[in-house]
Every structure is written in structure tokens, then in C-alpha cells.
Homo-oligomer: A and B are copies of this chain.
Amino acid sequence: MTVRFGLLGAGRIGRVHAQGVAATRKAKLVAVADSYQNAAQDISSAYGAEVRSVEEIEISHDIDAVIICTPTDTHAVLIERFAMAGKAIFCEKPIDLSIERVERCLALVEKTGQALMLGFNRRFDPHFVAVRKAIDEGAIGDVEMVTIVSRDPGPPPLSYIKRSGGIFRDMTIHDFDMARFLLGEEPVSVSAEASVLVDKMIGEAGDYDSVSVILKTASGKHCTISNSRRATYGYDQRIEVLGSRGMVAAENQRPVSIELASGSGYTRPPLHDFFMNRYVDAYANEISAFIAAIVENRAMSPSGADGLAALRLAGAALKSAETGRVVRLET
């Protein structure tokens, strides 16, 4: 079987996924849609896909699955339309910033029985996968305390911050998903602190740029998350899991691993300075996993429910930061 794809959204992430589809013989990029014609055309000529409208892809019989890389506020409605159109769906996170809207969308998807996979790409990073595998193999015994440090090289444009839903929903949300991926148990409480330390304009836009979070599960496992919108040394992405019998951690990644020694000391280059370079393998692997799940008719993971769970943690963290209380999650 060859999975025939329609790509919705031909921006930078769309291009990455088009490449991911092209890289395997199990799939074929049949069509691409983007309101910006040049972008669609670019992908069309690079991969031999037709430029079609969203509506045309919706009714195309030669399309089995779609990849949704359009702006966030279109995700929920596109998921609904393509679920009803009988396509398997891969959608970039988040489904929506409103928990209620996400719930409504997922209820409809469930009714259609269509497969939906959400783009929490970090679950497919080879290093993080290896950490998860070590846990599964019992290398560290029972998971007890997860530590996540996640820092961006620099803040995004203010325009983005204003519509992103805030740092917890746009940045920490990846760490909430990673926490769930690693804890192997649902967090039941969230404590968070949030500050504006990087750029006052971020505060004036109603957001924070530096946050610390503690999650706790029912059995008492902890996860601490530390985020900053600025790390001059690059895209800092570390996870570490302490267990009853040991600890496993993923190291940071850098473009080249050389070391220069001089009178000033031993210097290695900065980390990647862009998330798409850091997670280039993760993007490719998640599309592979999506294709494999379709071909082998397996459940999708991460699912829409995973997206919802992370969004709820983000909401709880924001509430905790604003009220100075631990927020309990209903389970």
C-alpha cells in the first residue's frame, strides 16, 4: 500500500513534512494546498504534487491522508472537515487554544472513526526515544522524578506571542507532553511560577517569558520544568529521569561536535539555534510513524487526547501561576 497525501499549508513546517513523505516509498505526496500560491507551487515542483484547493483535496478520491500545517486557528475546523471526508489526519499542535473547542473537535473525530495524530514531534526525537526505551527496559527501575529544561534561543516576535495563547500553551506545552510521555502516569497537580525577565514587552503583551513548573502524579512522582524564552547558547533541550535504580538523560545536540582548546579553556560550539534543525530527525520520524500507523492500521500516538491533556496542563499551570495555588486536575 502507498499512502497518498494531501498537504494543507506549504510553509516551513509543510515543506519539512513534504520531504518526510517523499523520503519513503510507502507514501506519495499527491496534492498541496496553500492560499499563498507560490509556496504551494514550490512544493509542487519539488515533489511532483498537484496544486489543489483545500476543497478539492477534501473530495479527492486519490488522497488517503492529510497533513495539516495551516495556521492554528484553522486546525479544529480542518480536522473536522477531513475527518468527515474520511481521511487520516496528521495535524500540527495545537488543535485549538480552547479546551472546549478541542473537546468538541475530538468528539466529532471519534464519531467518524477517523485516525488523528498530533504533531508532538519531540516524542520522535531519537535521543528522547532512547530515554523512553531505557525506561521501558527497566534500566532505571521505577520512574520517580523527571527534570525538563527547555529554553529557546530567543523570544519569538511579539506578534506571535500575542496570539500564541501564552508561554504555557505555546512553549511549555511541549514539555507537558514530554512529562506525560516520561512519567508514564497522569499528573494530578500543577504548581507554576511565571516571570517576565527577558523582555518587558512580553509582559506588556500579557505573557511571561520565564516559567518553572512542578507536576505531581497520583503516586507522587514529580516532574519539574524550567523554561526561558532566551538562551544565548542555543536551543537548550534536556530531559532527565531519575528512577529507583538509576537515572537516564538525553544530552543537548549541536550542529558540529568539535572542541577548541586554548588559554581561555576548552570550547565546544553553541547548540542548534533553531528548533527545526534540532528536531530534523524527529519531524521525519513522526511522519514515518504516521504512515506506518495507517499502513498497519494501528492506533495513532500521540493522539488528539494527548493534545487535550497537554492543553489542560497548560491551563492549570497558568491558573497556578496567577493564583499562587497548586491546581488539582480532575481525572
Q: Tell me whether B251 and A259 are in contact (CB under 8 A).
A: yes
Whether, in the assembled complex, A196 has its beta carbon less than 8 Å from a beta carbon of chain B, the answer is: yes
> Which of A7-15, A94-102, A214-222 binds B?
A214-222
Whether, in the assembled complex, A264 has its beta carbon less than 8 Å from a beta carbon of chain B, the answer is: yes
| Contact partner, A210, options B144, B197, B261, Cβ 8 Å | B144
Bound CA span A263–B319, Å: 34
Binary contact readout A57-101 vs B (1 if CB under 8 angstroms, 0 otherwise): 000000000000000000000000000000000000000000000
Chain B's nearest CB lies how many Å from the CB of A111?
38
Bound CA span A310–B315, Å: 32
Q: Tell me whether B257 and A248 are in contact (CB under 8 A).
A: no
Q: Tell me whether A270 and B261 are in contact (CB under 8 A).
A: yes
- A231 CB contacts on chain B under 8 angstroms: 242, 247, 261
Q: Tell me whether B196 and A220 are in contact (CB under 8 A).
A: yes
Known A-B contacts A127-B257, A231-B242, A232-B246; the reply to A267 vs B265 at CB < 8 A is yes
Q: Tell me whether B233 and A226 are in contact (CB under 8 A).
A: no
Bound CA span A55–B185, Å: 58
Give chain A interface residues in 296-331, CB to chain B under 8 Å: 324-326, 328
- Residue of A198, A226, A258, A269 ringed by the most chain B CB atoms within 10 A: A258
Bound CA span A230–B244, Å: 8
Copies in the complex: 4
What count of chain A residues pass the 8 Å CB interface test? Answer: 71
Q: Tell me whether B197 and A269 are in contact (CB under 8 A).
A: no
Give chain A interface residues in 142-164, CB to chain B under 8 Å: 142, 144-145, 147, 149, 151
Query: Across chains A and B, which 8 residue pairs bring their CB atoms closest together, nearest first?
Result: A195-B220, A246-B262, A233-B261, A324-B326, A130-B256, A247-B261, A251-B257, A191-B191
Identity of the chain B residue whose Cβ is nearest the Cβ of A22 in the assembled complex: B22
